[in-house]
């Protein structure tokens, strides 16, 4: 395990202890604990939900639904069964999905992939893509730098919420496959299948935007 990963895990473990303590206090209905918890953790939950829901007004609602559920069921959390952050992200993911489902019903919004576990390209909108290409594609942009991050954001928005979530939980939040399975309430094999297809779809999108792993390897010297 590399040094960065070890540091990140140590930091996460410390934060987990603090969150566990706050959950204990919330179980005793201490309002100061929910305020401290909000200050400490709501942004992380909000950022995660932002990637799933994409709209701040929906995220506002999902964060509060999540924190209300945490307040009401803090006493149910058992540290022996898993990490506090995994438990919290599981609640946040559930609340986020419910709100996403409702938003889809109201707006008839279509995601890129109908079935997140299907090995297809999801039939993205080629006309929209062509328009986007005219705006953003430029061979000179294939140089690496922060633009890759911007391209990633655009590509992630076009993936299904399930693919986006598994990528975010792995590469942004640093969770292992078992924890992602716990958070998303999926079998481990589903998590592994999703990330396999998510990688394929993401790389195709990035390549269409002019970013490819080959160029990265050359520029990065790896």
Q: From 167, 181, 145, 175, select the one nearest 5 (Cα to Cα).
A: 175
Question: From the CB of 197, what's the least distance to another protein, in Å?
Answer: 12
Question: From the CB of 111, what's the least distance to another protein, in Å?
Answer: 18
Token readout for 124 is 């993205």
- The Cβ-side half-sphere exposure at 50, using a 13 Å CA radius, reads 9
Q: DSSP for 75-121?
A: GG--GGGS-HHHHHHHHHHHHHHHHHHHHHHHH----S-SSTTS-S-
Contacts of 192 (CB under 8 A, 6+ apart): 177
Question: From the CB of 44, what's the least distance to another protein, in Å?
Answer: 9
Interface residues for another protein in 156-215 (CB under 8 A)? 167, 170-172, 174-177, 192, 195-196, 199, 202-203, 206, 211, 213
222 binds another protein (CB under 8 A): yes
Interface residues for another protein in 52-71 (CB under 8 A)? 56, 59-60, 63-64, 67-68, 71
Handedness of CA 123, 128, 131, 135 (dihedral sign): negative
Q: From 92, 195, 36, select the one nearest 84 (Cα to Cα).
A: 92
Which residue, 18 or 215, is less far from another protein as judged by CB?
215
| Candidate segments 79-87, 115-123, 124-132, 150-158, binder of another protein by CB under 8 A | 150-158
Binding site for another protein (CB under 8 A): 1-2, 4-6, 9, 31, 34-35, 38-39, 42-43, 46-47, 49-50, 56, 59-60, 63-64, 67-68, 71-72, 145-146, 148-153, 167, 170-172, 174-177, 192, 195-196, 199, 202-203, 206, 211, 213, 216-217, 220, 222
């Amino acid at each position: 395990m590399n040094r960065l990963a070890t540091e990140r895990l140590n930091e996460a473990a410390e934060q987990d202890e603090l969150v566990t303590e706050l959950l204990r206090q919330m179980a005793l209905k201490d309002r100061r604990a929910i305020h401290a918890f909000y200050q400490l953790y709501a942004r992380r939950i909000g950022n995660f939900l932002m990637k799933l829901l994409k709209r701040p007004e929906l995220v506002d609602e999902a964060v509060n639904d999540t924190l209300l559920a945490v307040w009401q069921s803090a006493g149910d959390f058992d540290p022996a069964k898993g990490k506090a952050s995994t438990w919290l992200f599981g609640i946040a993911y559930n609340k986020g999905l419910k709100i996403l489902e409702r938003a889809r019903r109201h707006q008839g919004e279509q995601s890129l992939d109908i079935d997140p576990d299907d090995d297809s390209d999801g039939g993205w909108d080629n006309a929209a893509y062509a328009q986007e290409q005219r705006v953003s594609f430029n061979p000179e942009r294939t140089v690496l730098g922060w633009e890759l991050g911007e391209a990633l954001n655009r590509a992630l928005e076009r993936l299904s919420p399930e693919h986006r979530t598994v990528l975010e939980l792995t590469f942004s939040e640093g969770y292992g496959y078992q924890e992602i399975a716990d958070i998303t309430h999926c079998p481990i094999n589903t998590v592994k299948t999703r990330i396999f297809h998510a990688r394929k779809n993401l790389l195709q999108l990035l390549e269409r935007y002019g970013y490819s792993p080959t160029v990265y390897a050359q520029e990065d010297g790896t």
